[in-house]
Structure 1
């Protein structure tokens, strides 16, 4: 049994589904079900006895301690986080609460739990913390990609809160010898991606005939990682990663935001042409850039390949085609997610820009 936090979110739910499909162990899935947590992501395992879902907050130390005592997991895989940069600019307090205080609560519970273990159970216990490349700051055009030794330079409340959580995990390894592992990943994409993020929002807006908003000049560069590749990397780190180490996980796919949008438009032109003719590129609109927008992220993923033999299977072209196809085949999921809280967030965040929606 393993305990997964945030297992109803985008990456977490993909990991839970991947784990149950590839591993014999069960999953205790702890998720608060805030705006980005979606039980529809887990519909295929709703009746799976190896999946135990618990609605709860990682900041609830008593609940976490009880779950550890009851289920005795051999590992904690920690995804739960507030993760949207724009939301962190508008309301940073929630990011500090979940990303910093929540991680601290989990670490304290894990430390107490490990102290009750003996022998092989104690030796094999792991705390795997899933983090982001944004903690490293921004790169210039000619700078080398982020390695695991890159100094932290977070530039948003979101990335600062994740950097703080990374430091806590490191401190618990060095101070308390808690067997921690940390992964810092690049931009994920794929099924179940909440449509306030670039790729799913562009797909949804394109098909709805809405503007396709591009922040600034659209030349911000990100490294794109297909979510199933990320899940495989996490499994590799959990299985064989060196305790106390950090592993950067990237897709070796640096693309500008404009390149990403152009590629989505071209795929939709091929797979689902506009009824009125012409290209979806005609819907592209440039909007005011967001404050403190990092120019470039890029991951050096050679360490995880060298030590653990992991390398992404999907290219950006193959992964994005699968992603576009998934959204076309799951229109009900998209409609459900776009209702309620998501739509009110879009209205609050983007009603002062030149179009109603904008994304990284």
Structure 2
């Protein structure tokens, strides 16, 4: 056989597995991607103005998993970064997730932490059974804050009212009674100092790995000799849409370079109630780049285009289960990653999933994973 493994997709899932199988298990790996670059949606580059940007919207690394952070640290130095977001509501840029300062500034109050908890309790509309995204928010902070911060944003993002969506959509966003305005509270919060693309380049720099870009699985499936397949693409596409297409939401990105060093007070500003876009991102907050110009991106959710977000509705979960049954029965084929498992995973979760699959393929006990060989030319 020319290759021990054919891996479809050069994002986090495929690249982590390629690196581990090649370096630790000494397997010959062919890694393919239909795009013209590695890194999947985390791909970053310098635009025409020389500003370091993320092509597919902001990717903020955060995790509580020491194993994941230590593994990725072999391929990158880190730039400490704690993500902050503001929401444009009633003419103000207010902290989101909602916290003590959000309420005080919105209503001109001076509440303490215990008092704002009472404010939320008085406003809340209690639900006996929380099943939708609307239920999550109105049960916690009431209908007025739900209308100001969540309802219209969710409608733009998903093309549906929160009352139609599974509770998990808004359950991901906390509500705080203190002044902590960080978007995430994970133990490890940082950005790759030289960018994600450089991290992936180091990850894939091994003699046992061959990378082919601008290449789809359908084009070479019958042309390449390999032992096992690792597939990170859309699971419904792999099975020829046998039961119909799994629904996704996509995004359109509009980049704008501005003749100023800084355009926003924080990296991301959400626009729940006006403009057709959901948010704007200024990348220099993420990268720490010093440059006389800056670039921001506007995100426009849409139904068609590259698949980004699985749509969390019960009927979609049932459709996925039909495809999962086919996947479970497939011989020598492994499905991993967001698209292949129809789950909205963060980058660290995909990395952990890939490391778990590698340990299974290589029969490596969990306790020994962190002690696996270092990468050649690894970065401290």
- Report the structure, 1 or 2, having the larger helix content: 1
- Report the structure, 1 or 2, having the larger strand content: 2
Structure number with the bigger relative contact order (C-alpha 8 A, sep ≥ 6) is 2
Larger Rg: 2
- Tell me if both proteins adopt one fold, taking TM over 0.5 as the criterion: no
TM-score normalised according to structure 1 size:
0.32
